[in-house]
Amino acid sequence: MTDTPEPRVIVGGRPPTPPEPPAEVIGLGESLLRLSPPGHQRLDHATGLDIEVGGAEMNALITAAGLGLRATWISRVAGNPLGQRVAAHAHAFGVRTHLDWDADARAALYFVEQGVPPRPSEVLYDRSGTAMRRLSPDTFDWKGLTSGAGAVLSSGITCALGAGPAAAVTALLSAGRGNGAVTAFDVNHRAKMWTWEQAVPVLRGVLPHVDVLLASRGDLLRLLPDAREDEGPVGLARQAIDAFGHELVVLRETDQLPGRRVATRVTAVTAAEEYASATYEADVVDSFGAGDAALGVLLAARLAGDDPATIVDKAAWAGAFQHTMPGDACQIRPSDVARRGAEARRILR
């Protein structure tokens, strides 16, 4: 025998309008197991390694999911326990996955020595033979996956994995734009993965599909065909808008202050306007993931309908906030964003 549900009482003769589902952000990229000696030890003297999971696109998606958006990570992953560990990381932070498992591939790894000034933190990559290296533009149904998405994102790190991944990034962004999504791309040049001579022709092929570009002044100097060394960052951003058709170019700057303190600010440039954030300082607990957190918050704010000045200020604040937490994953809560700009307090109670 089954229970009969109580009849639903409808006031005024109409059922209530269901709430709109949250916007969806979709990202394509490789995630890696991050292995670090405890504290600030060096790898050649380490007797143990702490495990985190990193990856630029994954980090940005975790940020967006933490702020209430639907987030989906697309990738090829090693079909072994290490790949399963990476997928579990996404699920633990509320990120859905659409994965192509490869039983013959290796999991991507990177090793990190956490430095303290004057010794920099240093990264050692181990990502040859990974599943994402075999990604092609035909691996996924990009049009179907991006249907209904509010934003899609990827980065130059994915493009550095090879011709197939770079073509897949273009396919994702093109399909996303065709479906009405905002397309976002972080140049994120990694000198240990490829040279600028290798990167420039590839990235110039991607950039015409990008609405929101995250880049540094140095990135723009290399990517623009006719950039002048004496041009300021805002002028270079407008040249990029003219050359590639971006709606917005986002310039993030971080200054090293005494000790482990940094100052972060963001400037966003359109064809006609520029918007500068406040400068936010932070004591660095971990150097990784700040730019990814800024991108995740920027997209969440844009999809929420915030004005441009608020969007860039939230992005700058998020980059500083991420420095205060261990690991790559940005664990920003909506209540954290609500306190942005408020008087700092050591304990909330």
pLDDT tens string 221-277:
999 998 888 899 999 999 999 999 999 999 999 999 998 899 999 999 999 999 999
DSSP run (H or E) holding 182: strand 182-186
Q: Are 53 and 33 in contact (CB under 8 A)?
A: yes
Position 2 pLDDT exceeds 70: no
Grade residue 50 by pLDDT with cuts at 50, 70 and 90: very high
Q: Residue 343: its pLDDT value, please?
A: 76
Q: How confident is the model at residue 1 (pLDDT cuts 50, 70, 90)?
A: very low
* CB count in 10 Å sphere of residue 82: 16
pTM of the model: 0.92
Q: What is the mean pLDDT of the chain?
A: 93
pLDDT > 60? residue 10? no
Average pLDDT over residues 173-187: 98
What are the chain's domains?
Answer: 22-328 (3.40.1190.20)
- Asked if 267 contacts 275 with a C-beta cutoff of 8 angstroms, the reply is yes
Predicted local distance difference test score (pLDDT) of residue 219: 97
Q: What is the mean pLDDT of residues 116-139?
A: 94
Please report how many Cα atoms fall inside a 13 Å half-sphere around the Cα of residue 327, on the Cβ side: 14
Q: Is the pLDDT of residue 344 over 50?
A: yes
Per-residue pLDDT for 6 more than 90? no
- Secondary structure of residue 259 in the 3-state scheme: coil
